C-alpha cells in the first residue's frame, strides 16, 4: 500500500461511520487483522480508519512494590499490562503501531472532549511513536456525513492540547489519590485481620459518600412531630370540590377540632375570586445532566444507563454528542434542515411542519455553555435499525425536547376563590391551559392536569359537604436517588459530566450504598466515620472542589499540568502520613466494619419459627453447601433450616412474600435474569404455581 492518512477513532461504530462518510463511494473496505476491525477508504488519497476500544492506555505504578503506599511514581502504559481483564487490547495497540509505520499523515477523530482527546493523544504518542505533534484534529458534534466531511476537509492544524493537558492532569491526580487512599484502607485492614477486602475511596468518591451519610443520618435521627390538617370538601352547583384550609399545618389538636366543630352545618360564602393569567416559557435544551434527570423522572433510568443509551444513539448518528454541559443550540446546526428531516417520520410530521411555517426559528437557551459541543439535539437522521424500547424512549425525548424549545410560550390561567366559612378561610383552586404553545411539542412528557371550576361569583354561597380533622406527622428529608445525587454533585462542583454517573456506580459496587432510593449500608457509614476520625480532608467537599478548580485552570491555560500535580501531591502527602501513623487503629476499625458488613449481607430476615432469631445464609462444614438457618441454632434453641440454590449469588431483598409474610431472597445466576425466591415450603403461592404448571403441561399435551 502507498503512503496513507491514519485516522484514529474511539470505537468501531464510529470508525465505520467516519469511513463511510469519507469514502468517495460511501463503501469503505472492512479489514480484520487478529480480530481487530479497521476500514480502508478512498477520498483525495488512501485513508485508513482505525478504532480504539475507549482508553487503550492507563496509568500504572512505575516501580516498587504493589502492596505499599505512599506511591508517587507513575507512567502511562497499555491497559493489557495493567489490567487482568484487558488482555484483548494488546492486539488493538499492535494494530495502531503496525499501521502507523507506513502512514505519512495522522488525524485524531475521537470524541471532542477530555476523554476523547486523551485517547487520541496516547495512541499517537505511545503506539504510533511520538506522532502527537504532527497530527491534525477532526472536530465534530455529530456523526452525520456532512459534518464529518467538513471536519475532514477543515481539520484543526494540531491536537487540542489544552483538553489533553486537562485530561492528563485529571487522570493523574485521580490515580494518585485513588491508588494511595484505597491502598491505605485495604492494606491497613489486611495487615490487621490477615483477610483481603476491596476498600476504596478517592477525591470525588469520599465527598459523595459523605453527602449520602449526612442525609441518612438526618433520616435516621428524625423525630416525627405531630400536626393536624383540615380536610374539607364543598358542594357548588351540585358538584363536590376539595378546598384547602388557610393553614396547611395546625399545631394543636384542640385548634383543629374547634375549626371542624365551628364549620359543621354552616354555610360558606365566596369572599373573593382572583384570576391570574401567566406565560410559561419553553424548556431549555438538554445538557447531559438535564437529559439524565428527565430520563430518571420519566422512565426510571439511572444516570449511567441514560448516558450509555445516549452514547449508542450518538454512534448511530441519531443525536449529537451527549456528554456536553451546554444548554444552547447555535444556528450553525441548521434548525430547518433538522426539522425537515424529522418531518419524514409520521410521528413528528405535523409538529415539525408547524415549526417550519415560522418565519424565524429561535430556540430558547439556558445559561450553561460548553466550548466543545452544543446542547444535545437530534441530527435529523432516522433509525437504520429497530431501536430497543429504551433507545426509542431517549431518542423520542430528545426529538420532542428539541422541537419544544422553538415553541411559543404556553399561556395558563390560575383561579383562586377564597371561601369564608364560620370566620375561617378556605381556598378553592383551579387551573387550565389557555394556549398550549410549546407544550404541544412535548405533550407525552407534560405532567400537569387542568382542574376546571364551575362558573362562580363573589358573594355566592357554598355548602360544606365534608370537613374532618386528619392526624399527621412531619416527614424526614427524602433519600437521594441516582438522579438527585448527580444533581447535588453538579451543584457542589465535584466530578465531571463524564465521571459522576460512574462514581455513583462505584459506591454501589463497593456495597457502600444500596437501592434506587439510596440507603447507606453499615459499611458506608463506617468508612465515612473512620475517614472523618483519621483523615477528615479525604471526605472534604471544599478540598475536592479546590482540586477541581485547579484542573479547570489547566484546561484554560492559566495553570500548568506540572504545577497542578506538584500541588496535588503536596496536599496528599500529609494525609497519607496521618493514615500511616494511625495504620493499626485504622486497620482494626476497618476490619470490624468489613466483618459486620459481611454478616449484614448474610442476614435474610427474622425467623418466623422461633420469632427471636435471625435467618442467615450458612455453609455446611461437611458438604460446603449453603443453606438458610436460624442464629438460635447455635444456642440450641431453634433447628429451622431451608435449602438454597447452589449456583449464583443470593441476597436478601429486605421485603416479605405477600402470600405468607416470609422474607424474600434474590437469586442471580450469571447471564440470567435474577429471580425472587420465597423459601417457605408451605407458601400458598407454591401450590398455585404447581397447579398453573400442571395446567400448562396439560394444554401443551392436548395441543399436540
Write out pLDDT tens, residues 484-514: 999 999 999 898 888 899 999 999 999 999 9
CA distances to 51, 89, 100, 139, 249 from 130, in Å: 19, 20, 11, 21, 70
Task: Identify the pLDDT of residue 391.
Answer: 97
Cβ of 344: how many Cβ atoms within 10 Å? Answer: 11
The three-state secondary structure class of 200 is coil
pLDDT of residue 698 exceeding 60:
no
pLDDT of residue 692 exceeding 50:
no
Q: What is the DSSP letter of 277?
A: E
Strand order in the sheet with 103-108: 29-33, 36-42, 46-51, 4-9, 103-108, 136-137
| H or E stretch covering 160 | none
Q: Please state whether the peptide bond connecting residue 70 to the residue before it is cis, i.e. omega within 30 degrees of 0.
A: yes
Residue 646 is placed in which grid cell?
A: 447452589
Interval 154-206: pLDDT, tens: 999 999 999 999 999 999 999 999 999 999 999 999 999 888 888 889 889 99
Q: CB within 8 A of 424, min separation 6: which ones? A: 245, 246, 259, 262, 263
The residues pairing with 319 across neighbouring beta strands, listed in sequence order, are 378
Q: Give pTM, 2 decimals.
A: 0.86
Cβ of 513: how many Cβ atoms within 10 Å? Answer: 25
Task: Identify the pLDDT of residue 683.
Answer: 85
Residue 503 is placed in which grid cell?
A: 462514581
pLDDT of residue 230 exceeding 90:
yes
Cβ of 685: how many Cβ atoms within 10 Å? Answer: 13
- As annotated, the active-site residues are 321
State percent of the chain over pLDDT 70: 97
Interval 411-468: pLDDT, tens: 999 999 999 999 999 999 999 999 999 999 999 999 878 888 888 899 999 989 999 9
Task: Identify the pLDDT of residue 74.
Answer: 94
Could you tell me where the DSSP H helices lie in 300-457?
303-315, 335-342, 346-356, 389-404
Interval 362-374: pLDDT, tens: 999 999 998 889 9
Question: What beta strand segments (E) does 474-534 contain?
Answer: 513-514, 519-520
Interval 369-424: pLDDT, tens: 988 899 999 999 999 999 999 999 999 999 999 999 999 999 999 999 999 999 99
The radius of gyration computed from the CA coordinates of the chain, to the nearest angstrom, equals: 31
Task: Identify the pLDDT of residue 37.
Answer: 96
Q: What is the largest CA-CA distance in the chain?
A: 98
Please state the length of the chain: 704
**pLDDT class of 695 with cuts at 50, 70, 90:** low
CA distances to 61, 82, 104, 498, 641 from 76, in Å: 9, 10, 25, 21, 53
Q: CB within 8 A of 368, min separation 6: which ones? A: 287, 325, 326, 327, 328
Question: What beta strand segments (E) does 534-671 contain?
Answer: 603-606, 614-619, 626-630, 641-643, 649-656, 663-668
CA distances to 118, 464, 495, 569 from 162, in Å: 10, 70, 18, 21
The residues pairing with 77 across neighbouring beta strands, listed in sequence order, are 58
d(CA 321, CA 372): 10
Instruction: Name the more confident of 137 and 639.
Output: 137
Cβ of 371: how many Cβ atoms within 10 Å? Answer: 11
The pLDDT of 547-562, averaged and rounded, is 89
d(CA 397, CA 439): 13
The residues pairing with 467 across neighbouring beta strands, listed in sequence order, are 232
Q: CB within 8 A of 258, min separation 6: which ones? A: none
d(CA 91, CA 83): 15
- What the chain holds in terms of domains, given with CATH numbers, is 4-159 (3.40.50.140), 182-220+479-594 (1.10.460.10), 226-282+410-473 (2.70.20.10), 288-404 (1.10.290.10), 602-693 (no CATH)
Interval 525-534: pLDDT, tens: 999 999 998 8
Across 76-80, 471-475, 571-575, 605-609, least confident range = 605-609
Task: Identify the pLDDT of residue 160.
Answer: 94
d(CA 419, CA 457): 11
Q: Residue for cell digits 505512599?
A: 70
Q: What is the mean pLDDT of the chain?
A: 91
Residue 395 is placed in which grid cell?
A: 431518542
CA distances to 136, 512, 530, 536, 591 from 527, in Å: 47, 8, 5, 11, 11
Amino acid at each position: 500500500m502507498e503512503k496513507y492518512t491514519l485516522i484514529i477513532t474511539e470505537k468501531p461504530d464510529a470508525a465505520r461511520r467516519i469511513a463511510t462518510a469519507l469514502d468517495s463511494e460511501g463503501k469503505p473496505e472492512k479489514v480484520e487483522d487478529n480480530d481487530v476491525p479497521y476500514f480502508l477508504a478512498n477520498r483525495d488519497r488512501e485513508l485508513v480508519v482505525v478504532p480504539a476500544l475507549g482508553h487503550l492506555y492507563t496509568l500504572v505504578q512505575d516501580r516498587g512494590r504493589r502492596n505499599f503506599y505512599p506511591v508517587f511514581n507513575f507512567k502511562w502504559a497499555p491497559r493489557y499490562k495493567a489490567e487482568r481483564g484487558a488482555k484483548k487490547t494488546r492486539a488493538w495497540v499492535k494494530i495502531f503501531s503496525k499501521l502507523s509505520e507506513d502512514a505519512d499523515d495522522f488525524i485524531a477523530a475521537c470524541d471532542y472532549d477530555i476523554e476523547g482527546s486523551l485517547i487520541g493523544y496516547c495512541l499517537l504518542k505511545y503506539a504510533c511513536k511520538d506522532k502527537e505533534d504532527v497530527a491534525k484534529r477532526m472536530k465534530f458534534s455529530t456523526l452525520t456525513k456532512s459534518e464529518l466531511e467538513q471536519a475532514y476537509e477543515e481539520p484543526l492544524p494540531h491536537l487540542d492540547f489544552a483538553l489533553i493537558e486537562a485530561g492528563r492532569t485529571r487522570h493523574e491526580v485521580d490515580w494518585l489519590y485513588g491508588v494511595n487512599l484505597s491502598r491505605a484502607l485495604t492494606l491497613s485492614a489486611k495487615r490487621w485481620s490477615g483477610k483481603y477486602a476491596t476498600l476504596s475511596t478517592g477525591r470525588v468518591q469520599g465527598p459523595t459518600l459523605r453527602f449520602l451519610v449526612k442525609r441518612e443520618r438526618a433520616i435516621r435521627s428524625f423525630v416525627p412531630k405531630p400536626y393536624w390538617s383540615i380536610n374539607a370538601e364543598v358542594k357548588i352547583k351540585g358538584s363536590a370540590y376539595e378546598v384547602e384550609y388557610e393553614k396547611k399545618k395546625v399545631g394543636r389538636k384542640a385548634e383543629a377540632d374547634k375549626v371542624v366543630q365551628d364549620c359543621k352545618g354552616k354555610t360558606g360564602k365566596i369572599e373573593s375570586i382572583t384570576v391570574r393569567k401567566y406565560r410559561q416559557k419553553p424548556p431549555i435544551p438538554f445538557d447531559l445532566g438535564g437529559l439524565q434527570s428527565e430520563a430518571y423522572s420519566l422512565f426510571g433510568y439511572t444516570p449511567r444507563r441514560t448516558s450509555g443509551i445516549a452514547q449508542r444513539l450518538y454512534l448511530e448518528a441519531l443525536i449529537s454528542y451527549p456528554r456536553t454541559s451546554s444548554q444552547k443550540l447555535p444556528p450553525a446546526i441548521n434548525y430547518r434542515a433538522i426539522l425537515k428531516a424529522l418531518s419524514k417520520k409520521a410521528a413528528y410530521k405535523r409538529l415539525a411542519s408547524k415549526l417550519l411555517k415560522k418565519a424565524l426559528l429561535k430556540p430558547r437557551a439556558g445559561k450553561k455553555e460548553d466550548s466543545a459541543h452544543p446542547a444535545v439535539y437530534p441530527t435529523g437522521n432516522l433509525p437504520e435499525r429497530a431501536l430497543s424500547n429504551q433507545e426509542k424512549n431517549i431518542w423520542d425525548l430528545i426529538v420532542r425536547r428539541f422541537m419544544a424549545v422553538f415553541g411559543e410560550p404556553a399561556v395558563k390561567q390560575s383561579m383562586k376563590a377564597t371561601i369564608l366559612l364560620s370566620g375561617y378561610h378556605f381556598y378553592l383552586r383551579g387551573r387550565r391551559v389557555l394556549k398550549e404553545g410549546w407544550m404541544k411539542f412535548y405533550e407525552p412528557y407534560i405532567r400537569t392536569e387542568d382542574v376546571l371550576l364551575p362558573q362562580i361569583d363573589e358573594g355566592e354561597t357554598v355548602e360544606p359537604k365534608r370537613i374532618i380533622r386528619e392526624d399527621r406527622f412531619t416527614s424526614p428529608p427524602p433519600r437521594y436517588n441516582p438522579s438527585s445525587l448527580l444533581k447535588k454533585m453538579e451543584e457542589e462542583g465535584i466530578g465531571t459530566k463524564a465521571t459522576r454517573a460512574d462514581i455513583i456506580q462505584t459506591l454501589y459496587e463497593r456495597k457502600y450504598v444500596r437501592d434506587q432510593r439510596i440507603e447507606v449500608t453499615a459499611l458506608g457509614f463506617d468508612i465515612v466515620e473512620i475517614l472523618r476520625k483519621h483523615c477528615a480532608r479525604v471526605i472534604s467537599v471544599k478540598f475536592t472542589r479546590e482540586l477541581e478548580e485547579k484542573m479547570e485552570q489547566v484546561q484554560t491555560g492559566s495553570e500548568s499540568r506540572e504545577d497542578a500535580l506538584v500541588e496535588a501531591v503536596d496536599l496528599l502527602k500529609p494525609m497519607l502520613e496521618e493514615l500511616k501513623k494511625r495504620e493499626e487503629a485504622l486497620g482494626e476499625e476497618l476490619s470490624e466494619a468489613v466483618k459486620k458488613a459481611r454478616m449484614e449481607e448474610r442476614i435474610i430476615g427474622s425467623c418466623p419459627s422461633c420469632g427471636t432469631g435471625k435467618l442467615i445464609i450458612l455453609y455446611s462444614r461437611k458438604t460446603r453447601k449453603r443453606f438458610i438457618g436460624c442464629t438460635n441454632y447455635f444456642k440450641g434453641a431453634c433447628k429451622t433450616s431451608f435449602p438454597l440454590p447452589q449456583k449464583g449469588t443470593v441476597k436478601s431483598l429486605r421485603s416479605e412474600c405477600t402470600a405468607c409474610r416470609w422474607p424474600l431472597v434474590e437469586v442471580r445466576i450469571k447471564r440470567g435474569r435474577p429471580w425472587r425466591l420465597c423459601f417457605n415450603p408451605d407458601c400458598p403461592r407454591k401450590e398455585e404455581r404447581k397447579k398453573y404448571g400442571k395446567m400448562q403441561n396439560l394444554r401443551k399435551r392436548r395441543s399436540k
